Amino acid sequence: MSVKVNEVEIEDSAVQAEIERLRVDYERYVRENGGEPDEQQLHEWALENLIEKELLTQEALRSQAEPGAAQVASYLKDNSDSFDTELSDEEKRELCVRDIKIRALVKSVRKGVKPPPEEELLREYNEHIERFTVPESLRVSHISRLPRAAESKSQAYLELLDIRQKIENFELTWMEALPRSDTYAEDMGVFDTVIRGLFPSEVEEQLFALNRGQVSDVIELEHTNTLHIFRILVKRNAEVIPFEDVREDIRSMLFNDAAENALNGLVDQLKTSADIKR
C-alpha cells in the first residue's frame, strides 16, 4: 500500500528498501532495550523515516534558493559515483539541485541554534562523569592453547600448568615460554588490552587481582573456547579525563544534539500542515 505526502507518492519498493536498510540496527536496538523485533514496528519506522525525508525535501525545494550552474556542476563532479549511470543528464541535475537545497536547509537550521553556554558544558561533564572516565585496564601478554575437542582441553590445561610451574621455578623465562603459545605466530604473545567489563566477572577478578609481572592461573575464555595464562605488563587505574581536555567535545555534542532537536522540530511543524494519506 502506497503513501502520499502532499500528493507525492512513496512507493512500496522504497519502503521495502528502507526496511532492509534499517533492519540490522533496528533489531540490535530493540534487543539491547529488552524487546523483541517486530516486523510491523520496523515497517512503521521505515515509513515514518521516508515521510519525514519527503517533507524535508519538499520544504527545501520550496524555501531554498536555486543553486547556480557552477555549483550544480561542482556537486555532480564530487558526487558522480552516487548517481545511477542510467540517469539522464537532466535527471542527475535535478537530483543535484535537490541535494544542494536539502543541505542548505539543514545548514540554515543549524545556523539558528545557539552554542551551549560554558555552564551547560560543565553541568554535562559533572552529571555524566562516567562518560569521561577511562576504565581500569590491563596490558597483558599471554600463552594460549586452542583445544579442538573436549579430550584435548584437559591436555591443554595440563600443558599450560606445566609452563606456569616452570616459570615460577625459574626453569623457564616468560620470553622463552612465549613461542609455545598456539597463537604466537599471529600475535607474538600480545593480547588485547583488558578493560573492566570486557570479560566475565570471575575472569576479571583473577586478572585485576594480579600485580605487574605476575602470571595468572590457567583461564578459560568460553566465548572463544581457548585456554590462557596471562602475564601482567601494565596495570592502569581508572582515570577521570580533565574537563579542559573534553570541553570542545562536549560543546560539539551538545550543539549537535540541539541542532538535531531543531531539525526534528521543523519536521513536526511540517507534519501538522501536511496532507499525508496512508
Is 61 found in the same domain as 20? yes
Is 198 found in the same domain as 145? yes
Total domain count for the chain?
2
Nearest in space to 222 (alpha carbons), one of 194, 192, 199: 199
- On whether residue 122 sits in a domain, the answer given is no
- On whether residue 72 sits in a domain, the answer given is yes
- On whether residue 121 sits in a domain, the answer given is no
Is 183 found in the same domain as 112? no
- On whether residue 123 sits in a domain, the answer given is no
Is 92 found in the same domain as 9? yes
What is the per-residue pLDDT for 80? 85
Separation of alpha carbons 197 and 243, rounded Å: 24
What is the per-residue pLDDT for 1? 60
- On whether residue 35 sits in a domain, the answer given is yes
Torsion (CA) 266, 267, 270, 276 in degrees, nearest 10: 180
Is 80 found in the same domain as 29? yes
Q: Mean pLDDT per 10-residue run, the chain (278 residues)?
A: 88 94 95 94 95 96 96 92 86 94 97 96 96 94 88 91 96 96 95 89 93 95 90 94 97 97 96 92
Q: What is the span of the domain harbouring residue 223?
A: 136-237
Separation of alpha carbons 137 and 200, rounded Å: 14
Is 212 found in the same domain as 262? no
- On whether residue 128 sits in a domain, the answer given is no
Domain CATH code at residue 198: 3.10.50.40
Separation of alpha carbons 112 and 92, rounded Å: 31
Is 169 found in the same domain as 107? no
Is 101 found in the same domain as 35? yes
Separation of alpha carbons 105 and 107, rounded Å: 5
N- to C-terminal Cα separation, the chain: 8
- On whether residue 129 sits in a domain, the answer given is no
Is 192 found in the same domain as 154? yes
Secondary structure letter of residue 66 according to DSSP = P
Residue 119 CB neighbour total at 10 angstroms: 8
- On whether residue 232 sits in a domain, the answer given is yes
Residue whose grid cell is 556537486: 75
Is 104 found in the same domain as 146? no
Is 254 found in the same domain as 229? no
Is 231 found in the same domain as 259? no
3-state helix, strand, coil in the chain (%, to 5): 60, 15, 25
